[in-house]
Amino acid sequence: MFSKLAATIALFALAAPVTRGAVHNVTVGGVGILKFDPPSVDAFPGDQVIFVFKQKNHTVTQSSLNSPCTPLEGGFDSGFVPVADNVTTDFPIAQLTVQDTNPVWVYCRQANHCQQGMVFAINPGDKLSTFQSNAIGNNTDSAAAGTATTTDAVSATSTAAQTAASVVTVTATVTVDGTTQTTTYGSYPGSAAPTSVASQDHVIMVGQDGALTFTPSNITAQVGDTLTFRFAAKNHTATQSTFASPCSPLSQTSTSGQVGFDSGFMPVVANSSDFPNFTVKINDTAPIWVFCKQTNPASHCAAGMVFSANAIESGPNNFAAFKAKAMSTGSSNSTSTVSGVTPSGTSNKANGASRALGRDAGILVAAFAALLGGLLL
C-alpha cells in the first residue's frame, strides 16, 4: 500500500501538502528514541499522515493487530530510511493518504524496535493498548531484522534473508575474532564451509568511477562476515533479490513473507568523498543475490549491475548465470519504486536520502523528481 502513499523524494524544502483533509504529523525515531510520536491518530478519508523520519534508521511498515511485528502481505513499507545523528533539519518524509476509517497498524521493522514498542496506529479505536501489548510480547525476530549505526556517511546494517529451500543444518566449530565457538547454521550443498579465521568485512564499491557495477561483483563470505556496500557515485541501491527474479526485490517475489534487505537509494554528488555505507551481516552460507533497482534513464539491473555472495559456482545457479538472467529479464522486472516511495534527487546529505514532499499534484512532483534524479545519471 505505500503505492497508496503519495511519498515522493524531491529536492525542495519541506512544504505543507495540498489536501482537502487534515494533516497529521508523526515523528519516527530520534536520538535515543524508539517510538512513533504520537503513537496513534484518528483520521478520516482524505486526511494525510506525514511520517517524519528522524535520527537512526527506521521504517514505516504496515502490519496487523495480531501480528504487530510482521509485515502485512500486500501492505505498505517505506523501506529503511537512515538519518545521521548530526542531521537536524530537512528530515525525509513519507506521506500516507487515509482511504477509509478502518484501523491501520504500523511498526518499525528495524531489529527489535517493534518488540520495544515502536508501533503506531491510525484509527485504532480501543485496540491500541492491545496492539502495543502484542508487539512487546512478540519475541520473534521480524523479517529483515537488522541494526543501524549512523556516521557522517551513514552505515545501515541489515540481515540477509534466505531465498530458497533445500538448506542443510550444519553444526561446526569456528574461530571468530580469536574466540572459538560452536555455531549451527543453514548451509546449501556445495556452498562454502566456515573457516577458522577472524570475521571479515567485505567492502563492495557501488557505482565506482561512474560504472554500473558492484566491485567486486561475486565473493565468498563466511558466517559472521559482513558485506559493506559503499556507494561511490550517482544514485544506486543494494537490493536483495533471487536467482529466479534477479531484478525484482525479494519482498515482491517471496511466497513466505521474506522482506530481504534494501539500502534504499543512495544519491552521491559528483566529486564527493563522503560515501554512504550499507552493511549486511552474513548469518549462513546461503547464496545472496543483489541488484541495483535504479531505472532512470534505463534499468541498471538489465545492464548487468548485480552482485552475489556465496553463489555456488560449481552448479547452474552461478554468478555468470545470474548476471545473464538479469540482463535478459531486467528491463521488464526492474522498478525504481519501492512500495510507492519514488526515490530521486542529487542531495548528498548524511541521511543518504533526500527529503520528501507529498502532494495531490503527485504527477507533476514525480516528474520533477525524476528529472532531478536524471541529473545523477
Query: Has residue 124 got a pLDDT over 50?
Result: yes
Taking the CB of residue 85, how many other CB atoms lie within 10 A of it? 17
Per-residue pLDDT at 138? 62
**200 or 332, greater pLDDT:** 200
Per-residue confidence band for 260, with pLDDT thresholds at 50, 70 and 90? confident
Query: Which DSSP helix (H) or strand (E) runs through 332?
Result: helix 319-333
Query: Has residue 195 got a pLDDT over 50?
Result: no
- Mode of pairing for the β-strands spanning 288-291 and 239-241: antiparallel
Per-residue pLDDT at 176? 44
105-135 burial code (b ≥16 CB/10 A, e <16): bbbbbbbbbbbebbbbbbbbeeebeebbebb
Query: Has residue 359 got a pLDDT over 70?
Result: no
- What's the mean per-residue pLDDT of the chain? 74
Domain 155-333 has CATH 3.50.50.60: no
Which amino acid would we find at residue 260? G
Contacts of 45 (CB under 8 A, 6+ apart): 21, 98, 99, 100, 101
Cell numbers linked to 86: 548530526
Residue-wise pLDDT for 158-179, tens only, equals: 445 444 434 444 444 444 444 5
Average pLDDT score over residue span 184-196? 49
Query: Has residue 275 got a pLDDT over 70?
Result: yes
Domain 23-143+350-374 has CATH 2.60.40.420: yes
User: Alpha-carbon distance 303 to 311, whole Å?
Assistant: 20
Domains 23-143+350-374 and 155-333 share a fold: yes
- Mode of pairing for the β-strands spanning 214-215 and 201-206: antiparallel
Percent of the chain with pLDDT over 90: 41
Cell numbers linked to 250: 525479494
Mean pLDDT check: name the lowest of 122-131, 138-147, 214-223. Answer: 138-147
Residue-wise pLDDT for 229-253, tens only, equals: 999 999 999 999 999 999 999 888 8
DSSP secondary structure, 91-136, as one string = --EEEEE--SSS-EEEE--STTTGGGT-EEEES-TT-HHHHHHHHH
Return the DSSP state at 208: G
- Cis before residue 194, ω within 30 degrees of 0? no
Q: Residue 116: phi, psi to the nearest 5?
A: -95, 10
Per-residue pLDDT at 65? 96
| Domain residue ranges in the chain | 23-143+350-374, 155-333
Query: Has residue 301 got a pLDDT over 60?
Result: yes
Per-residue pLDDT at 371? 39
Taking the CB of residue 32, how many other CB atoms lie within 10 A of it? 8
Query: Has residue 110 got a pLDDT over 70?
Result: yes
DSSP secondary structure, 350-375, as one string = TTSS--B---S-HHHHHHHHHHHHHT
Look at residues 30, 209, 186, 217 and name the one whose alpha carbon lies nearest to residue 108: 30
| Stated pTM of the model | 0.45
Average pLDDT score over residue span 178-186? 49
Average pLDDT score over residue span 333-343? 33
Mean pLDDT check: name the lowest of 54-68, 201-215, 309-323, 358-372. Answer: 358-372
Query: Has residue 81 got a pLDDT over 80?
Result: yes
Cell numbers linked to 56: 537512526
- Cβ atoms 40, 120 nearer than 8 A: yes
Query: Which DSSP helix (H) or strand (E) runs through 186?
Result: strand 179-187
Taking the CB of residue 356, how many other CB atoms lie within 10 A of it? 30
